[in-house]
Chain A
Amino acid sequence: MVKIVKGAITLLLGLGLTFSAVYAGGNSAWWKKAGAPYKGAVLQGIAENTPPGQFAGEVLAKEFESLTGIKVRLENTSWDQMYDKAIKDMEANSGIYDFVYIEQDIVYSYLDRDFLVNITQSLADNPNLVAPHVNMNDFTTFIDYFKDAKGDVFGIPMEAFLKVYLYRKDLFGAADAKSGFQKKFGYALAPATSFAQWRDNAEFFTAYCAEKGMECWGTTVQGHTGHPASTYEFLESVGPSFGLYNWGVTDDFHSCVAGGGSLNGGRAKGALSFWTSMLEFAPPEALQSTWSEVASTFAAGRAAQGWVYGENAAWIASNKEKSLVVGKVGVMQPPTGPGVLTQAASGNGYIGYFDGGAYGIPHSSKNKEATLLWLQFVAQSEVQADWAAAGGRITHYSTYNDPKIKEMDQVADGYFTLMQNTGYLYAGAPMFPFHGAGRAAIDPFIYAALAGEKSPSEALDGACKALDKVMKDLGYQK
């Protein structure tokens, strides 16, 4: 009996040490030594409540603490609150947070306002804190978004993913659906490669589901009429896929056609018209849907196709506890308008949004050195595979080759392969320091178009004027 108990304890200890050792990159001793001067410190961070954020808070933080004795408290909260709290803390220099989530689209504003610590410089100034086994070259080009003009890093990427086209393989593969679609539209049913096909699919499946008494509709629409998520879907996904790049803003900060911009141009209006017309075939919750609700809608089997953020694609495709469509999810590159793919391939445009974020250190942090250790911990290549499997995100080249991810890729219908092979066609948000203010000016017009209070044309005519006013008031437009 004693032998059995001793054996069990040894096994458990061994497993625990192995687990720690794996996440420690085989460098437990280094982490323990580096963390010793800061043992007992508590790092407070704030981020968006997403699967990658949850993994960081619930798994990586615990591992880090067990190795270094430094506690990490990650406050995963809503997107709105994350921004509000982080920005207020940094503006007031109150030092509440030691690290903050930096969404890709807001990094330019943070850099412009000098909110963040220069991580490259800090590590150069503190060589004893540099984790020798962390390979910064393993980061994908996504890290470039968090660098300044000199190439210094201000944020360590913790998530990066594409917004992709998801479709229901079971619905598209149903024999009666195929024959019904062929009969109605005169061509074979298939996931959308054009917007006309998207529309036909949406119309068909809305009727198909209604006939069969199923609670499903033809397409998702991220169309909340009171939340910026809808503006983002337009500016970052629908717009670019129609050929509207960088919000239609010129280098001298004009967005209206009259000033040389294109926010109210033909492509933009075409995009908004298409997108708002999809409401007819979207579930009733579309007008109250942010990215989270769209993911839930798709996972609940309520849509045949849709644009879905990649961080959700993985769990929708694989998590039986949360998704009703496991094994039924197809992943594809979204459709694009004429010429858009060519422009994107040549570097003169993009087809959609390369989303993601990083952890950065505010100047007001009271535990900068300890936080540098934490950021390097999450930057290790060794932690990326489990993180990617949990959160559908990849920030390191080596993660693509991990067996866990290759296996996950099969389940997620090649989502990771799609990201690896076509990620270069996507782009982050434009480099606008006034990102938040500009988007806030456009918001009500997009909401009004979705609610049918304004036509797409009227909405964009108003939106570009409002955006131009903001850029002028802020001193960007002369």
Chain B
Amino acid sequence: MLTLGLYHYVLLSFLLLAIGLVGVMVRRNAIVMLMSVELMLNAANLAFVAYARYRGDEAGQVMAFFVMALAAAEAAVGLAIVIAVFRHLRTLAVDRMTQLKG
């Protein structure tokens, strides 16, 4: 009988991270790219919590808590930028955002 261990969680978190990375690289919609970044942050959190559990050290959970706060800040600013860009260009395709000048 296979017992559930740390490495199962690490492998799952790695897969989630890889999916998020593929999303950032393949998708051209700014909002979906932000969602993929959230996916990657979530995968990192899962690894933090898994290590916290299997080492018996709650500091990992505290780190995951900080990552969550960071993700919230990132989403707020990122979506504000998305709205501003959409007002200006009427599109969210990152291929069309070629100028820094407003």
A in complex with B? no
